[in-house]
A and B are shown apart, each in its own frame.
Chain A
Amino acid sequence: MTSNDHGDTLAQQVADAADNGTPLCIRGRGSKDFLGRTPKGDVLDLSAHSGIINYEPTELVLTARAGTPLAELEAALSESGQMMPFEPPHFGDASTIGGTIAAGLSGPRRPWAGSARDLILGMRLINGQGENMRFGGEVIKNVAGYDVSRLATGSYGTLGVVLDVSMKVLPLPEAEVSLRLDHTEVDGFNAVEQAFRAGLPVSGAAHDGEQLRVRLSGTKLAVDAGIRHLGGEQDDDPTTFWHALRDHRLPLFTDDGPALWRLSLPPLPDTPDLPGKRLADWGGQQHWLRTDASPEQVFGEAERLGGHATCFRGGDREGDVFQPLSPGVRRLHERVKTAFDPKGILNPGRLYAGI
């Protein structure tokens, strides 16, 4: 193997930490240190464990080491006219694929193209005992054994250290356009749903409180049909707004102010009733909110609406930042955590206190 494969060394580091009971803080490049509860423990650095291991465009599959920067993957993919359909957010230039998968983050295309977990096919993972394991694979259909790769996606490194990931990739759309329309939030998202039902290639739908933004991606013919169907004004560059939304570079995200919350909700018609500035993405199923409301208030509103909330940036990083779990689900979390990390050394408390 090339010198970029540090799997064995990393596994040894984890095994040693398990022996000594030393907590580890797993780190890609730390671009998402702000995310989750406050990181604690000795740093386990994945940045050197990097590089694309296998990429076969006709198989629609790419395998890369966890420390590979997203930018490097995107460059390799776009050379072959392909992309990661879940449109991972970039928080800084060096965001790694491991950190992205561990945080389970997906961008604006998610409702129509699938999430990070949807596109994961396989994973090499080090558990809390320093054992190097492999689950899933590089084929699109695979039901051998429990789906540990997807279970570990979005677990913030609390179940294992991700070494390599295999994921499904898709062709880049032939054409793309970004539209602005003067619709209210609910009417606008309903119009997008109607367009989707008519077979039009919706790949983004957001509302900033003033305007509806719609992105269409597909064949030239399909995108043109979408423009005729929806109307509105076209952005000069179809990527500007959506990348700024994806990477949190819009003023709602960058302005000073109270904590940034994310609410993930069932389909319309309900929208959150909370004070503060709000931007709706994912056709109304993901909301970004800057609010002074207490965590109890935000979690309560998310629960009332049948979804969940995360305190994304700011706020109290020692308290709950992820929606508290029901007692039954919490019990399963504790047991699953123990099954992977019996000594509790992997990112302890990053997700929930005690997990």
Chain B
Amino acid sequence: MASVYRTEDCQFTVDRDALIRRLGEALQGDNLLVDDEAMRPYECDGLSGYRQMPQVVAIPETVEEVRQVLRTCSEMNVPVVARGSGTSLSAGALPHPQGVLLSLARFNQILDIDHDRRIATLQPGVRNLAISEAAAPYGLYYAPDPSSQIACSIGGNVAENAGGVHCLKYGLTVHNVLEVTMITMDGEQVTIGSEALDSPGFDLLAAITGSEGMLGVIVEIKVKLLPNPPTKDVLLAAFNDVETAGNAVAGIIAAGIIPGGLEMMDGPAIQAAEDFVHAGYPTEAAAILICELDGSADDVEAQREHVCRLLEEFGSEDIRVAQNDDEKARFWAGRKAAFPAVGRISPDYYCIDGTIPRRQLAYVLQEMQKLSDDYGLRVVNVFHAGDGNLHPLVLYDGNVPGEFERTEELGGKILELCIAVGGTVTGEHGVGMEKINQMCVQFQTPDLNQFRALKNAFDPQGLLNPGKAIPTLNRCAEFGAMHVHHGELPHPDIPRF
């Protein structure tokens, strides 16, 4: 298979034997993998349509080892791709063909749960769910909860600014991280942020959060913990069409209610989830909303009455309130298992992550249906409806020649649709390798130049995760030439080849 990396991003000269020798000195025992067989599990992340073997895989155990690896690579001008749990859906952790894949998997210790002050200190490889489990005895939890939370690492969450079903009320990773210690490409350790609520100078913590492993390697993280809400109610409402469900979402928020979670699934997603987890979903519905309300008991009761009234006004004829913890878990189970459920009805699926202004939902759904018909590929929809983050899943069969390429193309069209209505190509999964071309559509030349200048400020040699997230102007010129948008070329100022 041809590399998905462009030639211009592979202009490094690597002496593999020398690299193995130097890294062997830097790392203990079995912390360096060099055989194809051993490295194979690292050739892709959660977006398995993209695969690439690295030169070597380094799995350090101490911060000092991380520093040595980075320093060595800096001296030898070798690219480095950091990897947490490898669940990225944008090929963010895809290895570089000339580089070192640096796994943080052995940094899996929870260093401290300061329950009085609600702060957890973590190594980057700690799994997201493990934080909430460790905090649970104190009635606390870590709010951002990606659906991949049993597997994904907190380091990967910071690098992607991960979200989850509770973001609408409790924020993204960027709102819940207090401090990050990272190693820059030249091997220097810097601590950014603090246990206080802000820091002097530039907000470098915001720059690092969501930087997709391109500014530094994160080796320690402090996050804020939140108290478990005393009461939670989960509602499920069925609708006869997706549009009214979309209007109900806007209506709830317009009424001044910010639910703990507000998710939508369309008919095919409901069906797939029901067949998989038997959550008791109304399979004849065109759409369901799952709404979680949390707070003190009185408050939740009042909100529940209000939301039920609104759902009815907006046309739901089937509104269910979970009666006990079991039923609450069941209402959520179908949503949380939506991706694997879809995985059962199709050989492969491709997850898209565009975000749109909520009011454009009905229009975007219609247009997506047209695209789906044009390409002859089915699209199943799961949304973080409350914050306008769509996850259309395109169903395809990777064994049918050309189908992945067509799927990718359809995905690209959907993302451009999101941009056209005032949205973005990625709400939470990151740009990675996957959406890099669409960055040329979303941003103009000065914006992209500024991103690159910022990257250079942290990594002047351009060794951290090269070829991802921020497209070169050459790439945009080529992409733009193939791809004229609204009859006008993006980046008219770039020479075309």
Residues of A within 8 A of B (CB): 56-61, 81, 104, 110-111, 114-115, 117-118, 127, 131-135, 137-148, 150-151, 153-155, 159, 170-172, 174, 196-201, 218-219, 221-222, 224-225, 264-268, 282, 285-286, 306-308, 310, 322-323, 325-326, 328-329, 332-333, 335-336, 338-340, 351-352, 355
Instruction: Let me know if B469 is at the binding interface, CB within 8 A.
Output: yes
A308 touches B196 (CB 8 A): yes
Measured in the bound complex, the distance between the Cα atoms of B469 and A289 in whole Å is: 44
B172 touches A134 (CB 8 A): no
Mask of B8-40 contacts with A, CB within 8 angstroms, 1/0: 000000000000000000000000000000000
A221 touches B298 (CB 8 A): yes
Instruction: Let me know if B296 is at the binding interface, CB within 8 A.
Output: yes
B444 touches A225 (CB 8 A): no
Find residues 135-180 in chain B having any chain A CB closer than 8 Å to their own CB.
139, 160-161, 163, 167-168, 171-172, 174-175
Known contacts A148-B450, A286-B197; decide if A222 and B355 are in contact (CB<8 Å): no
Known contacts A143-B428, A144-B442, A171-B258; decide if A264 and B198 are in contact (CB<8 Å): yes
Closest CB-CB distance, B394 to chain A, in whole Å? 20
B424 touches A139 (CB 8 A): yes
Instruction: Let me know if B103 is at the binding interface, CB within 8 A.
Output: no
Instruction: Let me know if B117 is at the binding interface, CB within 8 A.
Output: yes
29 interchain pairs (CB within 8 A)? A58-B250, A61-B357, A104-B203, A131-B446, A133-B444, A134-B443, A138-B422, A139-B422, A139-B427, A140-B167, A140-B387, A141-B388, A142-B355, A142-B424, A145-B451, A151-B207, A196-B227, A197-B139, A199-B227, A199-B296, A221-B302, A222-B295, A267-B118, A267-B119, A285-B197, A306-B196, A325-B200, A333-B201, A338-B457
Closest CB-CB distance, B177 to chain A, in whole Å? 11
Which of B43-51, B185-193, B316-324, B371-379 interfaces with chain A? B185-193
Known contacts A138-B422, A142-B427, A155-B203; decide if A170 and B258 are in contact (CB<8 Å): yes
Find residues 406-444 in chain B having any chain A CB closer than 8 Å to their own CB.
422-431, 435, 439, 442-444
Closest 10 CB pairs of A and B: A171-B256, A150-B206, A266-B195, A141-B427, A335-B457, A339-B453, A199-B296, A328-B190, A131-B446, A307-B196
Instruction: Let me know if B268 is at the binding interface, CB within 8 A.
Output: no
B426 touches A143 (CB 8 A): yes
A141 touches B447 (CB 8 A): no
Given contacts A323-B200, A339-B454, 5 further A-B pairs with CB under 8 A are: A139-B427, A151-B454, A333-B201, A335-B457, A336-B202
Closest CB-CB distance, A103 to chain B, in whole Å? 12
Closest to B251 in A: A58
Instruction: Let me know if B479 is at the binding interface, CB within 8 A.
Output: no
Point out the residues of chain A lying under 8 angstroms from B184, CB to CB.
332
Point out the residues of chain B lying under 8 angstroms from A137, CB to CB.
422-424
A155 touches B197 (CB 8 A): no
Instruction: Let me know if B230 is at the binding interface, CB within 8 A.
Output: yes
A154 interface neighbour in B188, B203, B357, B422, Cβ under 8 Å = B203
Closest CB-CB distance, A60 to chain B, in whole Å? 6
B299 touches A117 (CB 8 A): no
Measured in the bound complex, the distance between the Cα atoms of B192 and A201 in whole Å is: 30
A198 touches B230 (CB 8 A): yes
B296 touches A115 (CB 8 A): no
Point out the residues of chain B lying under 8 angstroms from A56, CB to CB.
357, 359
B359 touches A58 (CB 8 A): yes
B171 touches A114 (CB 8 A): yes
Point out the residues of chain A lying under 8 angstroms from B257, CB to CB.
171
A264 touches B197 (CB 8 A): yes
Point out the residues of chain A lying under 8 angstroms from B456, CB to CB.
335, 339
A135 touches B202 (CB 8 A): no
B427 touches A264 (CB 8 A): no
B161 touches A132 (CB 8 A): no
Point out the residues of chain A lying under 8 angstroms from B207, CB to CB.
146-148, 150-151, 336
Mask of B240-254 contacts with A, CB within 8 angstroms, 1/0: 000000000011011
Closest to A283 in B: B197
Measured in the bound complex, the distance between the Cα atoms of B450 and A148 in whole Å is: 9
Closest to A200 in B: B296
Instruction: Let me know if B204 is at the binding interface, CB within 8 A.
Output: yes
A306 touches B195 (CB 8 A): yes
Residues of B within 8 A of A (CB): 117-119, 139, 160-161, 163, 167-168, 171-172, 174-175, 184, 188-192, 194-204, 206-207, 209-211, 227, 229-231, 250-251, 253-254, 256-258, 294-296, 298-299, 301-303, 355-359, 384, 387-389, 422-431, 435, 439, 442-444, 446-447, 449-451, 453-458, 469-470
B118 touches A145 (CB 8 A): no
Closest CB-CB distance, A212 to chain B, in whole Å? 19
Closest CB-CB distance, A52 to chain B, in whole Å? 16
Measured in the bound complex, the distance between the Cα atoms of B197 and A104 in whole Å is: 12
Measured in the bound complex, the distance between the Cα atoms of B139 and A199 in whole Å is: 12
Point out the residues of chain B lying under 8 angstroms from A221, CB to CB.
296, 298-299, 301-302
B384 interface neighbour in A141, A174, A323, A335, Cβ under 8 Å = A141
B211 touches A141 (CB 8 A): no
Known contacts A58-B254, A117-B206; decide if A111 and B197 are in contact (CB<8 Å): yes
Known contacts A141-B389, A147-B174; decide if A332 and B384 are in contact (CB<8 Å): no
Point out the residues of chain B lying under 8 angstroms from A138, CB to CB.
357, 422
B202 touches A159 (CB 8 A): yes
Measured in the bound complex, the distance between the Cα atoms of B450 and A339 in whole Å is: 7
Known contacts A118-B171, A199-B230, A267-B118; decide if A146 and B210 are in contact (CB<8 Å): yes
B451 interface neighbour in A146, A219, A335, Cβ under 8 Å = A146
Measured in the bound complex, the distance between the Cα atoms of B199 and A132 in whole Å is: 27
B199 touches A143 (CB 8 A): no
B200 interface neighbour in A118, A286, A310, Cβ under 8 Å = A310
B206 touches A151 (CB 8 A): yes
A282 touches B197 (CB 8 A): yes
B190 touches A140 (CB 8 A): no
A146 interface neighbour in B172, B427, B454, Cβ under 8 Å = B454
B454 touches A148 (CB 8 A): yes
Closest to B301 in A: A221
Point out the residues of chain A lying under 8 angstroms from B303, CB to CB.
219
Measured in the bound complex, the distance between the Cα atoms of B440 and A15 in whole Å is: 25
Closest to B299 in A: A222
Measured in the bound complex, the distance between the Cα atoms of B470 and A1 in whole Å is: 30
Point out the residues of chain A lying under 8 angstroms from B211, CB to CB.
146
B356 touches A150 (CB 8 A): no
Closest to A285 in B: B197
Measured in the bound complex, the distance between the Cα atoms of B303 and A59 in whole Å is: 20
Closest CB-CB distance, B482 to chain A, in whole Å? 21
Known contacts A147-B174, A151-B203, A221-B302; decide if A267 and B469 are in contact (CB<8 Å): no
Point out the residues of chain A lying under 8 angstroms from B428, CB to CB.
141, 143
A57 touches B195 (CB 8 A): no
Closest CB-CB distance, B325 to chain A, in whole Å? 17
Point out the residues of chain B lying under 8 angstroms from A307, CB to CB.
194-196
Known contacts A147-B206, A222-B296; decide if A141 and B201 are in contact (CB<8 Å): no
Point out the residues of chain B lying under 8 angstroms from A132, CB to CB.
446
Closest to A268 in B: B117
B198 touches A141 (CB 8 A): no
Measured in the bound complex, the distance between the Cα atoms of B210 and A144 in whole Å is: 8
A329 touches B450 (CB 8 A): no
A59 touches B446 (CB 8 A): no
A267 interface neighbour in B195, B453, B470, Cβ under 8 Å = B195
Point out the residues of chain A lying under 8 angstroms from B357, CB to CB.
56, 59, 61, 138-139
Known contacts A154-B198, A285-B196; decide if A336 and B204 are in contact (CB<8 Å): yes
Measured in the bound complex, the distance between the Cα atoms of B229 and A200 in whole Å is: 10
B424 touches A144 (CB 8 A): yes
Closest to A322 in B: B200
Point out the residues of chain A lying under 8 angstroms from B294, CB to CB.
199
Measured in the bound complex, the distance between the Cα atoms of B203 and A308 in whole Å is: 14
